[in-house]
Amino acid sequence: MAKRSPWRLIWAAGDLRKRLLITIGILVLYRLAAQIPVPGVDRDVVALVMSGQSPGTGFLQLLNFLSGGTLSNFSILAMGVYPFITAEIILQVLVPIVPQWKQRFDEDPREGQQWLEKWAYVLSVPVAALQAIGQIRLFSFFAGGLPVLKNFGFQGANLLPSLAIIISMTAGTMFAIWLGQIISEYGIRRQGISLIIFAGIVAQLPFNFAQLVGNTAIPPVTRAIYVAIALIVLVVTIFLIVVVYQGQRVIPVMYPAQRVGRRMSMPVKGTLPLPVNMAGMIPLIFASSLLALPGVIASIFLVSRSEVLANLAIGLQRAFDPGQSGFYWFSYFLLVVLFTFFYTEVLFLQQNYGEQLRRAGARIPGVLPGDPTQRYLTRVLRRITLVGAFFLGFIAILPYLLTLAIPQASQGGFSALMLMSASGLIIVVGVVRDLVYHIEGELRMHGYEERILVR
């Protein structure tokens, strides 16, 4: 007799099978919609700009990565779900500042989170419209005067076509967000937006590999060495990410004795695991979105009639261009570290382990219950988060470090030697890990451990 692998029983659980099929179907729909171009776009001009022949297009490659490759054909989903992420960042930063909002979260964190998501949807609309204008102007700037979009302009007869283009791109973003919410509600729970981003990143993997293999500027033997290096870096990076994701500090907890009938049970020894990386891949998404925003805003003023504004916009755009500026990667590292601490602190305060343990009558040996327990756990968490934060920051800038070490191999893009960007790799590993845990939990609920296979 042997236990049957839980993965063989996925299709035996009707509810889980239905959720998986819905998730797969929506992801396929998302990738199909990603192929629909914006009305009036000239794909030849877009291909010319995205070829990387013009200096400064590293920022466009970054936007293309964030959108899951949809910017390379100027799809209606060219902005992905990142306007929603940007809106969430804005609101989460403002919550501790605005007293009424902070009070809402203190009284009921769950209701506060629902309120934040509701207004993040609303704020996503103007953010998406602003980003759409910025991307169009950015393409026009790098196209050197070539018409990327026909009839685009806010004067005369071009007004209505321009509004139609902006509305279609904004609607595409909201459609992607809506698909993510459907996945969270009817598919894999709480994974909708993450899976939308995951699908876009994974879809670029074959293209990045073909780009590295087909780089004719590098001799065949050297190219084969670079491909081997890329595969080794990919495997080692995945291994390190998994190790850190699994890392945790185990805190001993004593639970009180309980009466069972006429008998009194002995005190129970338990543990409270604190993960090294509680924030997961969220800091990378936050940092990427925030660093994309200055370039988008600068692109609006690239064609300004004011020479001062235009020069400032060019300088800002170059400063946040990952293909030209080391400042971008330094900012990326710093923001990832800061966001890791910030998001971990927010999550930990919401869970309030000190109060939960006090209500359960449990305590940590040598620590008073209640607030002292919460402060002790906070100190421990901050120390282990320091390791996780710097690791995330290092992985985030690993493509840049590789391009410094082997500059020739970076001709295919700033993530050429990793086949996908390091942040994208962390997102993929994190989503897969959460997905595996979720499916295993669902299978346990269906009692797969009690099923055996008789041979």
Q: What is the pLDDT of residue 426?
A: 77
Token couple for 54 = 């013009």
Give burial (CB, 10 Å; 0-12/13-18/19+) of 285.
Answer: buried
For residue 436, the tally of other CB atoms under 10 A from its CB is 11
pLDDT in tens, 368-426: 888 888 888 888 889 999 988 998 888 888 877 877 777 665 554 545 555 666 667 77
Contact 180, 200 (CB under 8 A): no
Contact 328, 414 (CB under 8 A): no
Per-position b or e across 329-347, b if 16+ CB within 10 A of its CB: bebbbebbbebbbbbbbbe
CB neighbour list of residue 198: distance below 8 Å, 6 or more residues apart: 427, 428, 431, 432
Q: What is the pLDDT of residue 264?
A: 61
Q: What is the mean pLDDT of residues 424-450?
A: 73
Residue 255 pairs with which residues in a beta bridge? 268
Q: What is the mean pLDDT of residues 59-77?
A: 74
pLDDT in tens, 27-62: 899 988 888 888 888 777 777 777 655 555 556 666
Per-residue pLDDT band at 450 (split at 50, 70, 90)? very low
Q: What is the mean pLDDT of residues 198-213?
A: 77
Per-residue pLDDT band at 454 (split at 50, 70, 90)? very low
Q: What is the pLDDT of residue 83?
A: 86
Torsional sign, CA 16, 19, 23, 28? positive
Q: What is the pLDDT of residue 2?
A: 47
Residue 67 sits at φ, ψ, to 5 deg, of -90, 0
Per-residue pLDDT band at 246 (split at 50, 70, 90)? confident
The least confident of 4-18, 288-302, 371-385, 422-436 is 4-18
Task: Let me know how long the chain is.
Answer: 455
Mean pLDDT of the chain: 77
Per-residue pLDDT band at 175 (split at 50, 70, 90)? very high
Contact 271, 253 (CB under 8 A): yes
Contact 174, 128 (CB under 8 A): yes
CB neighbour list of residue 384: distance below 8 Å, 6 or more residues apart: 247, 248, 249, 274, 275, 276
Q: Is the pLDDT higher at 122 or at 17? A: 122
Q: What is the pLDDT of residue 451?
A: 46
Fold observed for domain 2-453: Preprotein translocase SecY subunit (1.10.3370)
Q: What is the pLDDT of residue 125?
A: 92
pLDDT in tens, 150-174: 777 777 777 888 888 899 999 999 9
pLDDT > 50? residue 453: no
pLDDT > 50? residue 249: yes
